[in-house]
Amino acid sequence: MIEGYEQAAVGAEERLAAAADLDAVSGVERELLGRRSLFADAKRRLADLAPGDRAEAGRRLNEARARVETAAAGARERLAAADRDDRHAAERLDLTERLPHTVPLSRGRLHPVTQARDRLEDVFVGMGYTVAEGPEVETAWYNFEALNIPDWHPARGSFDTIFVNLGEPEEVMLRSHTSPVQIRVMEKRKPPVYIVAPGRTFRTDTADATHLPAFNQIEGLAVDRNITMGDLAGTIDEFVRAFFGREVKSRLRPSYFPFTEPSAEFDISRPDGSWLELGGCGMVHPNVLSNCGIDPEEWQGFAFGFGIDRLAVMRHEIDDIREFVNSDTRFLRQF
């Protein structure tokens, strides 16, 4: 009887050594070691043996059973290790790997307005200016009053301002131009000051081919001793040529802005001989200097401001400024 069980144990060891998965291992265990298994049955049958044979048979039976148990544990371990290796192989990340791509990858690029802004900064930095910034939400003081536009001034209406519902009515607003950055800079720094301030500006305009309610301007401000209108004209001429090319000329036309006196608009020449309006400029009004604690007897300055989006439209001959905010990559890819 015992030989039969020992034979079964040897067979089980072979099956376990060859087991391809955990199900196979469990199957052998169930068959030989479980409650209704071969060895359970053998144990019951020990009772039928003569008392003299029983101890020896029990020992051999236990030994055979232990061999099966050891083989099963070994098989489980072997399978678990193999499983771990498989998982590691499957989850391995090769950080140096480059997959061949069937669709060509498209590269992102800077928006044409960002490119124009970067170039403007470069041109002015090359002329000795530094770049300044101010907040997009402003108070009436910075957006208007300090710029010599008191609340009764008709020029306030011309700015089509978007007000923010905060504090007193019409006290807080999205800045309608970058000119408030002039004030913020002069409040903090003593002259000489040479800055440009590019940034977003906002007006109640409805978007059309030539307008956007959120657009970009760049402000320029120079404050020093003995600054003249000639310095302003020369600076604008120099910037226009550096930006558009040596053959492009600029001119100033008399105009009016509350924060400059005298004020002018500046144009650039087109190949066909006509002139295109670019922005406004002038000598900083003495009231503006005083508002910032700068003595207008000692210091003079010039300032200018114009639209960056407009500039990019001109440079690339784009017929609808709304293209800049449509996020159509077929359009943006061209720049």
- Per CB under 6 A, which region of 7-15, 118-126, 241-249, 303-311 contacts ligand DAH? 303-311
Does 304 sit near ligand DAH (CB under 6 A)? yes
Residue 285 as a binder of ligand DAH (CB under 6 A): the answer is: no
Backbone dihedral angles phi then psi of residue 332, each to the nearest 5 degrees: -65, -30
Stretch that binds ligand DAH, among 32-40, 100-108, 148-156, 301-309 (CB under 6 A): 301-309
Per rule CB under 6 A, is residue 257 in the interface with ligand DAH? yes
Helix and strand totals (H; E) in the chain: 12, 10
C-beta closer to ligand DAH: residue 37 or 161: 161
| Closest to ligand DAH by CB, 37 or 148 | 148
Q: Are 294 and 284 in contact (CB under 8 A)?
A: no
Separation between Cα atoms, residue 213 and residue 207, nearest integer Å: 6
Q: Assess 260 for contact with ligand DAH (CB under 6 A).
A: yes
Among positions 25-54, residues that touch ligand DAH (CB under 6 A) are none
Quick one: which of 282, 288, 310, 324 contacts ligand DAH (CB under 6 A)? 282
CA 37 vs CA 32, 77, 165: distances in Å: 5, 23, 83
- Contact stretch for ligand DAH (CB under 6 A) within 17-25, 236-244, 273-281, 308-316: 273-281
Residues 181-240 that bind ligand DAH (CB under 6 A): 219
Chain positions 161 to 190 lying near ligand DAH, rule: CB under 6 A, are 177, 179
Residue located via tokens 């002015």 = 124
Residue with Cβ nearer ligand DAH (15 or 310):
310
> With CB under 6 A as the contact rule, which of the stretches 18-26, 66-74, 161-169, 279-287 interacts with ligand DAH?
279-287
User: According to CB under 6 A, which one of 281, 288, 311, 321 is a site residue for ligand DAH?
Assistant: 281
Q: What is the DSSP letter of 107?
A: P
Read out DSSP for 165-231? SSSSTTSEEE-SSSTHHHHHHHHH-PSPEEEEEEEEEE-SPPPBTTB-SEEEEEEEEEEETT--HHH
Task: Tell the smallest beta-carbon distance from residue 165 to ligand DAH (Å).
Answer: 23
Q: In this chain, which stretch among 20-28, 49-57, 107-115, 299-307 interacts with ligand DAH, using CB under 6 A? A: 299-307
Q: Quick check: 303 binds ligand DAH (CB under 6 A)?
A: yes
Q: If we measure between CA atoms, which residue out of 150, 144, 289, 123 comes closest to residue 218?
A: 123
According to CB under 6 A, which one of 132, 244, 305, 324 is a site residue for ligand DAH? 305
d(CA 269, CA 264): 16
Q: Does 280 bind ligand DAH (CB under 6 A)?
A: yes
Separation of alpha carbons 286 and 301, rounded Å: 9
Write the CB contacts of 153 (distance below 8 Å, at least 6 apart in sequence).
Answer: 144, 258
Determine the Cα–Cα distance for residues 281 and 262; give it in Å rounded to an integer.
9
* Nearest distance, CB of residue 155 and ligand DAH, angstroms: 9
Edge-to-edge strand order for the sheet containing 300-307?
130-131, 193-202, 214-224, 300-307, 275-284, 260-269, 250-257
Residues in contact with ligand DAH by CB under 6 A are 177, 179, 219, 257, 260, 279-282, 303-305
